[in-house]
């Protein structure tokens, strides 16, 4: 069988197992094992070594230590009712904005994404805080789920981002420039997401809770007093990270300590909700790590079979015009995103794709942001959209249901890719300006 037939067969087996109710992590690992046994020339000992090294490597990471800590931070805010107070403080200011509190999912993911650098951590943490509150207040669940799944991907676009670091190393590009290039596209995406929420709310006013009573500016400020402790905590975490005083993992630890301190100060922290937050974060973290382990086995198999490299080489034989090349690469990366995580997509294809991009005349900093946006799309593309899995395990909803809810926001991601392709200066201006001013 050729590599295309192998890829199609593995995708069919994956869909078969998922529809049969097999756990997501087990499905990914089983498909990886099947591909390794049947479609590679490795012996049994080598196969075992690849599988166990993939399982170990997926979890033995200092950067991933931030994941359970950020999730625990969200659990503390949720269990101690601090999140409820935050929403009560925000409500008066968003009273007259179409969509009202639904915009908090976008704003929360944007701010938290600048701290975590992880799509999964951003999605899980903000979902834990926002989802119960918004549903309880009568907001449309489909819109809330769709916005959380896609806005969670801002964690890898708004710096710092592990995905950006991997690309910078693969492309031999400046990490600082890549980081700076992510800000304007990140803000653009937040505007597009919030713009769609506002447009949808105007068209469906009956599905948005009614506005609260009118408040004077003084009353709004008084009501917003509940926001001060958590706002200070978030600003502090972002500040120490940007200042270079702490890593993302250390910031996560500060976030947990700060959340516990605020909860204790507000007298909402008890041994009962402390234990509940600890167990809740343990369950969600284990779920995410288990899926990561299964995905790493599948990634190892994809690398050994040569499917990503084959697709990239096939594109190079087409001799396309620059914009046609971008279009085809978009389709290729979306297809790869159904079976691979973003970092693996970059690592496995960069050696073939980057020379093609350079020959076509595209800036490698611009292409870095372009590929990060495609990775964001992969995070919400079934059957292996990672954010879909996170929300599925947190809500009990089927991943296809969540993917359907995400479609309008998925379209916003596609629009963002189109905008930066037509106007590449949106990506390159800010790093050029900052680096030029620094000289």
Summarize pLDDT for 368-397 with one digit per residue, the tens.
999 888 888 887 877 667 788 788 877 888
User: Do 100 and 130 contact (CB within 8 A), yes or no?
Assistant: no
* Cβ-based neighbour number of residue 396 at 10 Å: 7
Query: How deeply is 419 buried, as exposed, middle or buried, from its count of CB atoms within 10 A (0-12, 13-18, 19+)?
Result: middle
Among 101-110, 278-287, 302-311, name the one with the lowest average pLDDT: 302-311
HSE (side-chain half, CA atoms, 13 Å) at 119? 28
User: What radius of gyration do the chain's Cα atoms show?
Assistant: 22
- pLDDT: which is higher, 174 or 340: 174
For residues 374 and 179, is the Cβ–Cβ distance under 8 A? no
Whether the Cβ atoms of residue 348 and residue 161 lie closer than 8 Å to each other: no
Q: Looking at residue 61, what is its pLDDT?
A: 67
| Global pTM value | 0.72
Average pLDDT, the chain: 80
Helix segments in 243-363, DSSP class H: 248-265, 271-305, 307-316, 322-336, 342-360
DSSP 88-133: HHHGGGGTTSTTGGGHHHHHHHHHHHHHH--HHHHHHHHHHHHHHH
Residue 427: predicted pLDDT = 92
How confident is the model at residue 351, as a pLDDT? 63
Unique residue bearing structure tokens 């050029």? 432
Read off the pLDDT of residues 8-59 as tens digits, 9 standing for 90 and up.
Answer: 788 788 778 877 778 777 887 888 888 888 887 777 777 787 778 877 776 7
Rounded CA separation 132/83 (Å): 10
- pLDDT for 274 beyond 80: yes
Residue 328 has what pLDDT?
85
Res 212: pLDDT: 67
Q: pLDDT tens digits for 392-404?
A: 877 888 888 888 8
Range of weakest confidence among 34-38, 56-60, 147-151, 412-416: 56-60
In the structure, what pLDDT confidence band is assigned to residue 109 with cuts at 50, 70 and 90?
A: confident
Distance between CA 112 and CA 155 in Å, rounded? 7
Within 182-247, residue ranges assigned H as helices are 183-203, 217-223, 227-242
Band of pLDDT at residue 120, cut at 50, 70 and 90: confident
**Of 1-5, 74-78, 147-151, 236-240, which gets the smallest average pLDDT?**
1-5
Closest to 390 in 3D by CA, of 13, 139, 21, 25: 25
* More reliable by pLDDT, 200 or 137: 200
Q: Which helix (H) or strand (E) holds 63?
A: none
What is the C-alpha separation between 63 and 154, in angstroms, rounded? Answer: 17
* Nearest partner of 125 among 146, 155, 100, judged by Cα: 155
Distance CA 434, CA 439 (A): 9
Element (H, E) at 382: none
Q: Which residues contact 189 (CB under 8 A, 6 or more apart)?
A: 154, 157, 412, 413, 416
- The answer to whether 399 and 363 have CB atoms below 8 angstroms apart is no
pLDDT at res. 23:
77
DSSP conformation letters of 331-377: HHHHHHTTTS-HHHHHHHHHHHHHHHHHHHT--HHHHHHHHHHHHHH
Residue 395 C-beta-side C-alpha neighbours within 13 Å = 28
Cβ-based neighbour number of residue 437 at 10 Å: 7
* Nearest alpha carbon to residue 330 among 302, 305, 355, 311: 311
3-state SS class at 397? coil
Q: Could you read off the pLDDT of 195-250 as tens digits, one per residue?
A: 999 999 999 888 888 876 777 777 777 777 767 777 788 778 767 766 778 776 78
Highest mean pLDDT among 40-54, 61-75, 422-436 belongs to 422-436
Alpha carbon dihedral 428, 431, 433, 439, in 10-degree steps, equals -140
Residue 156 burial (CB count, 10 A): 28
Q: How far is CA 195 from CA 100, 171, 190, 412, 417, in A?
A: 12, 34, 8, 10, 16
For residue 419, the model assigns a pLDDT of: 94
60 phi and psi angles, rounded to 5 deg: -85, 70
The answer to whether 400 and 350 are in contact (CB under 8 A) is no
């Amino acid at each position: 069988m050729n590599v295309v037939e192998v890829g199609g067969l593995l995708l069919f087996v994956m869909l078969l197992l998922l529809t049969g109710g097999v756990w997501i992590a087990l499905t990914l690992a089983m498909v990886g094992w099947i591909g390794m046994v049947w479609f590679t020339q490795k012996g049994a000992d080598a196969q075992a070594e690849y599988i166990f090294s993939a399982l170990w490597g997926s979890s033995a990471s200092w950067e991933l230590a931030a994941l359970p800590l950020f999730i625990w931070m969200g659990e503390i805010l949720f269990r101690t009712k601090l999140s409820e107070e935050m929403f009560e403080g925000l409500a008066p200011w968003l009273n007259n904005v179409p969509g009202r509190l639904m915009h908090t999912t976008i704003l929360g993911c944007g701010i938290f994404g600048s701290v975590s650098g992880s799509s999964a951590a951003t999605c899980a943490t903000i979902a834990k805080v926002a989802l119960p509150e918004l549903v309880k207040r009568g907001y449309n669940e489909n819109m809330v789920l769709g916005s959380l799944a896609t806005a969670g991907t801002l964690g890898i676009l708004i710096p710092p981002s592990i995905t950006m670091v991997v690309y910078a190393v693969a492309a031999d590009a400046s990490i600082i420039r890549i980081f700076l290039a992510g800000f304007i596209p990140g803000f653009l995406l937040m505007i597009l997401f919030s713009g769609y929420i506002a447009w949808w709310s105007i068209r469906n006013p009956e599905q948005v809770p009614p506005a609260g009573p009118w408040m004077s500016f003084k009353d709004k400020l008084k009501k917003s007093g509940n926001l001060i402790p958590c706002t200070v905590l978030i600003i502090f975490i972002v500040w120490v990270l940007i200042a270079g005083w702490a890593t993302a993992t250390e910031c996560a630890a500060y976030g947990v300590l700060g959340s516990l301190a605020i909860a204790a100060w507000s007298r909402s922290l008890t041994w009962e909700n402390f234990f509940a937050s600890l167990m809740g974060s343990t369950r969600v973290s284990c779920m995410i790590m288990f899926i990561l382990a299964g995905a790493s086995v599948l990634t190892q198999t994809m690398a050994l079979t040569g499917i990503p490299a084959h697709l990239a080489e096939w594109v190079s034989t087409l001799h396309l015009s620059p914009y046609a090349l971008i279009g085809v690469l978009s389709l290729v990366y979306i297809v790869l995103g159904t079976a691979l995580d973003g970092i693996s997509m970059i690592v496995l294809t960069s050696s073939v794709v980057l020379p093609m991009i350079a020959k076509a005349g595209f800036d490698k900093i611009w292409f870095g942001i372009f590929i990060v946006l495609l990775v964001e799309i992969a995070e919400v593309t079934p059957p292996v959209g990672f954010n879909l899995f996170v929300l599925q395990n947190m809500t009990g909803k089927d991943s296809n249901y969540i993917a359907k809810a995400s479609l309008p926001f998925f379209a916003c991601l596609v629009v963002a890719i189109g905008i930066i392709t037509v106007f590449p200066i949106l990506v390159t201006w800010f790093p050029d300006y900052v680096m030029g001013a620094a000289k």
